[in-house]
Amino acid sequence: MRLKSPFGPFLRNLAMPSFAIGSPTAIKSDPQAFGLKPVASGPYVVEEWVKDDHITLRANPNWEGGKIAYSSVIVRDIPDQSTSVLSMKKGDIDILVDPRPDDAHDLAKQTGIVLYRQPSNNVTYLALNTDKKPFDNLYVRRAIAYAIDKAVIAKSFYALGAQVADNWTPPGMLGENPSLKAYPHDVATAKKLLAQGGLPAGFVTQLYYPTSPRPYMPEPQRMAEAIQANLRDIGVNVTLQPLEFGVFLSKVRNGEHPMCLIGWTGDNGDPDNFMYDLLDQDSAVKPNAQNYSFWRDPAFHKLMLAGQQSVDETKRAAIYAQANALIHAQAPAVPIVHSVVSFAAKSSVGGVVPRPDSVLNFELMHQANGS
What digits encode the pLDDT tens for the residues 73-104?
A: 999 999 898 999 999 999 999 999 989 888 99
Q: Report pLDDT digits (tens) over 149-182.
A: 999 999 999 988 899 999 999 999 999 999 999 9
Phi first, then psi, for residue 198 (nearest 5°) are 85, 15
Task: Please say whether the beta carbons of 222 and 209 come within 8 A.
Answer: no
Mean pLDDT across 14-41: 90
Q: Is 42 exposed, middle or buried (0-12, 13-18, 19+ CB in 10 A)?
A: middle
Domains assigned to the chain? 23-119+341-367 (3.40.190.10), 122-338 (3.10.105.10)
Q: Which residues contact 332 (CB under 8 A, 6 or more apart)?
A: 127, 128, 130, 141, 279, 293, 295, 297
Q: How big is the chain, counted in residues?
A: 371
b (16+ CB within 10 A) / e for 204-213: ebebbbbeeb
What's the pLDDT score for residue 125? 98
| Bridge partners, 58 (sequence order) | 45, 72
Q: If pLDDT is split at 50, 70 and 90, which confidence band does 209 have?
A: very high
pTM, rounded to two decimals: 0.89
Give 290-326 pLDDT, tens digit per residue.
999 999 999 999 999 999 999 999 999 999 999 999 9
With CA atoms as reference, report the closest residue to 130 among 333, 298, 331, 294: 294
Report helix, strand or coil for 105: helix
Integer Rg of the chain from CA: 22
